Structure 1
Amino acid sequence: MKRIQLLLLLLAAFNTQVMAQWLEAQGEAKIINGNITQAREDAIAQALSYVTLQSGGQFTSMQQTQNGQLTQTQFSMSQQAEAGRVELISERIQGDTLSVNLRVDVLQNAKVQTCGMSQLKAAILVPQAQIADRSQLRYGNLGNFEKALSEKLGSIIAREGKASFAHVHANERLDIEQSLIDIRGYRLPSWLSEITDSQYILMPEIIDISTEPVEASLFGLWDSYPQRQFQLRLSLYHGISGEQIWSEYYDAPAPWEFERQATIPAQSNRFWASSYGKNIEMLLTQASEDIDKVLDCRPLLGQVVSRVDNRVIINLGRNHGVKVGDQFQLVLQQNLPDRLDNMRAVASESRAKITIDQVTQESATALLQGANGAINIQINDIAIKI
C-alpha cells in the first residue's frame, strides 16, 4: 500500500459559488524493469495532478493503492475544493509506457482564494517609455524624459515591489508601433524576455504631457503657475506567451512651477523635488502597488535555460527569492501554430521535479530527479515552485 502526496501551486482562482464538476485527465509513466504496478501508481498520480491544473488550487491528494489498483482517495484543496469520487476509466500498455484515464468529481466551495503563497518575485523588463507627442517635451526642454521616467519607475518597483523587481533598460526603446500594441490580442515577441531573463515586460506610454496656456500679466510675468498634464498608460505582458495581462491608465496633472524659458533636466533633483515631479512619483508608486496586486495571484513561471545531462539551470535566482533546497515542478512547453500561423505556447505537465542545490543572483541549478523525470525536459520548459 502506498500513499502518494501531491502539492501543486494555485493556477486559477475560484468564484464564489459552490459547484461540482466532472473532470477527465490522462496520465502516463514508463514501465521500468517490468514493474507495471509502480508505473500504474505513477500514471495515476500524474493524472490527478492534471486535475489541479484544470481546476486550480493548492491541491493535496492522498491516495491509497494496493498492487497498483486505486482503492481509496481523499482530496483537499486548501479548503477551497475537494473531490467526491474518482473513477478509473481505462488503462493501456503500449511498449514500455502505461497510460490511464481518470474521471474525477471536483467540488468547489465558496471560499475566496488567498494570494501571496509563493513569496517569489518576478523580474519585470522596463524599457524606455514611449511618448505620443515628442513636441510636448519642448516646454521646459525636458530632454531624456522618457529615459528618466523608466529609471524612476524601475527604482520605485525595486523599492516598493513585494511581488516583483525591475530589469531597467532605460536606454533601449522597443521599436514597436503603438498601433500594433493597440490591436486586441497582440503578443509581444518572446525573445524580449529571453534575452533579459525577465518574466514580464512593462510598457510605459506617455499619452499627454502638455502644458495649459497661461496669460502673462504686466511685464510678461505669470500671475500663477500653469497646469501641466501627465497621462500615462502602463501595459504588462507575459514574457512566455507575449499576451497582455494588465493595462491601466493614470492621469495626474500638477502645477509647473518653473520659469517659462527654464531648461529642466528630467533626471535632476530639481525636477523630481518639484510639485510636478513629486506628483509623478506618487503616481508611479500607486502603479507599483497595482502591479503587485496583479502578480500576487499569479504563479511565477521560470524557464529552463540550460541542460547538460541531468543538470538543469533555471532563470530564477536569489533576486527572485529562490533558496537552496527549494523544489520546482517542471512543465513541458510546446509552441503550436494558430490559424494565422502565429506560435502559441502550450504547457503540459511532466513528472520531473528538481531540488535547487546552487543559487546565483539571477539563476539556480539542480539535478533532475527520477528516471521518468528526465524524459523530454528541454530548454524553455517551465519551472514552478512547489
Structure 2
Amino acid sequence: MRQSTVIVPLLCLLSAPASADWYEATGQAVIRSADRADARAEAVQDAVRKALLYSGASVRSVQQVTDGLLTQETLFLQTQGEVQNVQIISETEEHGYILVTIRADIFPDQKQCSNVRLKKLLMISPFQLSHPEQAITGQLYELGSSSTQLFIQKLQEFSHSSTSKLLPQSIRQTDLSYQDRQALQRQYGSPYLLRARLEDVSLGERVGTNWSFWSDAERERFYRLELELLDIQQQKQLFSQTYQTSAIWDFQDRTVISPHSQRFWRTGYGKSIDRVLNAAAQDIEEVLRCESVQTQVVLVDAERLMLNAGSAQGLKIGDELTVLYRRQHKDSTGQWQDQLTISDLKLKITELSHQSAWAEAVNAAYLANVQVGDLASPEPAKN
C-alpha cells in the first residue's frame, strides 16, 4: 500500500540528457484572501505536475529549480523525470481561479514504467455521504454525486493511464466476497476499483454576529474525503488517503444550493473541494500508471483467442502478451481465491477493435490449455 500527501510539494529542474520532449499543460489554483502570488505559484505547480504525468514520469525523487522561473518560492516536485526550460505561455483569471499554461522540457525515466502507454480500466464506486444528516444545511444531499462527477472529469482531463467506468451503485462492503469480485471483473474486465466516502461535511461554530437580515453569522464548513484504490484480483490495497479542507459557509441556514450548480462551485467551499478533488485525481493517476494491464480471455476459437481489451486500452496490432492461467483454490479459511500461474504461452495481437482484440498463439500447441476467464498481460506478471 502506498501513502500520499494531499498537496504534493513541488518543482524540479536539473541539468538533463541531450534529448527531451516538450509538454504543455494548464494548472489552476484558487485565489485566497486576494493572494494572487501564492495562487500563481500553486497553479504553476499544478501545471508542472500535470506535464510530468503526461510524460509518463513517476513522482519520487526530489530535484531543484535552476532556471529562475520561481526564484522567490521554495517549491519542490518529487519525480523521476527531469524538467528544465519551463516557460509560462499564458496566465488568466476566471471566477476566482488563476489558470497558468506552461511548456516544459521533460526527460522522463521510462525504464521505471514499461507499460505507460497502456490504459487500465478503473471502476469507480459513487462517492457516498457517511453522515447524510450533515448535509441538511444547504440541502447538500447530492454532494457525493457531484464530487464523483467532478473527480471523473478531472481524471479524464489529464490521465494517460486509465479510462473510468462509473458503477451504477456504491460498493459499501469492506471485504468483497469471491463471487462479488468475480462478477465485477467479468462485467467490467478490470481488477481496479476506486471507492470513496465523504466522512465530514459538517458545519463548525458560528463566528461573530451578522446583523444583516439576508445572511447568518459566518460558519466554517468541512470536507473530508477518504479514498481507497483496490486491486480486487489480488485483494490488495494499492492506495489509501484522507483529504481534508474547509471554507467559510456564508449562506443562511435555510438557503438551498444545489451541489450540481455553478453557483455552488463558485463559492469558497466549492473551490476548496475542487482543489481536493484535483489532488486526489492526480494521486490516482500516479498510482495507476505503472500497474499492470491484465486482459481477460472471453472466447477461445480454434487457434486464436478473444480478449476484452482493445485500442481503447492502447493495444496495437503485433503486441505480444503472456497468458496467465487462472485456477480456483480454497485458502486456509475455506474461502475461494484465484491462483494465477504465468504460462509459457505467448500471444500476438492480430485483429483489433475499440474494446476487444483477437490474438493468436505464438506456439499453438499450448492453446488447448487456455480457458475462458484466463488472463493475458502485455508485460511479465508477478504472483
TM over 0.5: yes
1:266 — aligned with what?
259
2:205 — aligned with what?
213
Instruction: Could you tell me which runs of 5 or more consecutive residues in structure 2 were left unpaired when the two chains were aligned.
Output: 1-108
Q: 1:267 to 1:343 in 2, by over 3 A?
A: same
8 A Cα contact 1:202 1:235, kept in partner: yes
Amino acid at match of 1:227: E
Secondary structure (helix, strand or coil) at the match of 1:190 reads helix
Amino acid at match of 1:163: S
Amino acid at match of 1:343: W
Match of 1:197 among 186, 189, 204: 189
1:115 — aligned with what?
112
8 A Cα contact 1:327 1:354, kept in partner: yes
Structure 1 runs of 4+ with >3 Å offset: 185-188, 219-225, 257-260
Q: Tell me, yes or no, if structure 1 residue 373 matches structure 2 residue 370.
A: no
For 1:303 and 1:238, how far apart are their aligned partners in 2?
15
Amino acid at match of 1:116: C
For 2:306 and 2:218, how far apart are their aligned partners in 1?
56
For 2:368 and 2:227, how far apart are their aligned partners in 1?
40
Match of 1:168 among 166, 169, 174: 166
For 2:201 and 2:290, how far apart are their aligned partners in 1?
33
Q: CA deviation at 1:205?
A: 0.9
The structure richer in strand per residue is 1
* Deviation digits for residues 272-317 of structure 1 (CA, Å, limit 9, x no counterpart): 2322222222212211221222222322222212222222122222
Trace 1:254-333 onto structure 2 (pairs within 5 A): 254-333=247-326
Q: 1:346 to 1:277 in 2, by over 3 A?
A: same
8 A Cα contact 1:353 1:373, kept in partner: no
Secondary structure (helix, strand or coil) at the match of 1:284 reads helix
Q: CA deviation at 1:130?
A: 2.1
Q: 1:156 to 1:186 in 2, by over 3 A?
A: farther
Q: 1:217 to 1:144 in 2, by over 3 A?
A: closer
Q: CA deviation at 1:385?
A: 0.8
For 1:212 and 1:141, how far apart are their aligned partners in 2?
16
Q: CA deviation at 1:194?
A: 2.3
Q: CA deviation at 1:188?
A: 6.5
For 1:187 and 1:225, how far apart are their aligned partners in 2?
50
Amino acid at match of 1:234: L
Q: 1:305 to 1:278 in 2, by over 3 A?
A: farther
For 2:267 and 2:331, how far apart are their aligned partners in 1?
50
Larger Rg, first or second structure (1 or 2): 1
Q: 1:240 to 1:305 in 2, by over 3 A?
A: farther
Identity across matched positions, percent: 24
For 1:365 and 1:258, how far apart are their aligned partners in 2?
58
8 A Cα contact 1:303 1:381, kept in partner: yes
Secondary structure (helix, strand or coil) at the match of 2:291 reads coil
Amino acid at match of 2:169: E
Amino acid at match of 1:161: S
For 2:322 and 2:142, how far apart are their aligned partners in 1?
43
1:104 — aligned with what?
none
Secondary structure (helix, strand or coil) at the match of 2:367 reads coil
TM-score, length of structure 2 as denominator length: 0.64
For 1:274 and 1:313, how far apart are their aligned partners in 2?
50
For 2:277 and 2:325, how far apart are their aligned partners in 1?
36
Amino acid at match of 1:128: P
Trace 1:115-134 onto structure 2 (pairs within 5 A): 115-118=112-115, 119-134=117-132
Q: CA deviation at 1:244?
A: 2.2
* Deviation digits for residues 37-88 of structure 1 (CA, Å, limit 9, x no counterpart): xxxxxxxxxxxxxxxxxxxxxxxxxxxxxxxxxxxxxxxxxxxxxxxxxxxx
Amino acid at match of 1:371: A
Q: CA deviation at 1:133?
A: 0.5
Q: Tell me, yes or no, if structure 1 residue 356 matches structure 2 residue 349.
A: yes
Q: Tell me, yes or no, if structure 1 residue 249 matches structure 2 residue 242.
A: yes
For 2:247 and 2:187, how far apart are their aligned partners in 1?
38
* Deviation digits for residues 312-333 of structure 1 (CA, Å, limit 9, x no counterpart): 1222222211122211111111
Q: Tell me, yes or no, if structure 1 residue 138 matches structure 2 residue 141.
A: no
* Deviation digits for residues 221-264 of structure 1 (CA, Å, limit 9, x no counterpart): 65764211110111111142343222111111122244432211
Amino acid at match of 1:206: L
Instruction: Could you tell me which runs of 5 or more consecutive residues in structure 1 were left unpaired when the two chains were aligned.
Output: 1-111
Aligned pair count reads 269
8 A Cα contact 2:178 2:337, kept in partner: no
8 A Cα contact 2:191 2:233, kept in partner: yes
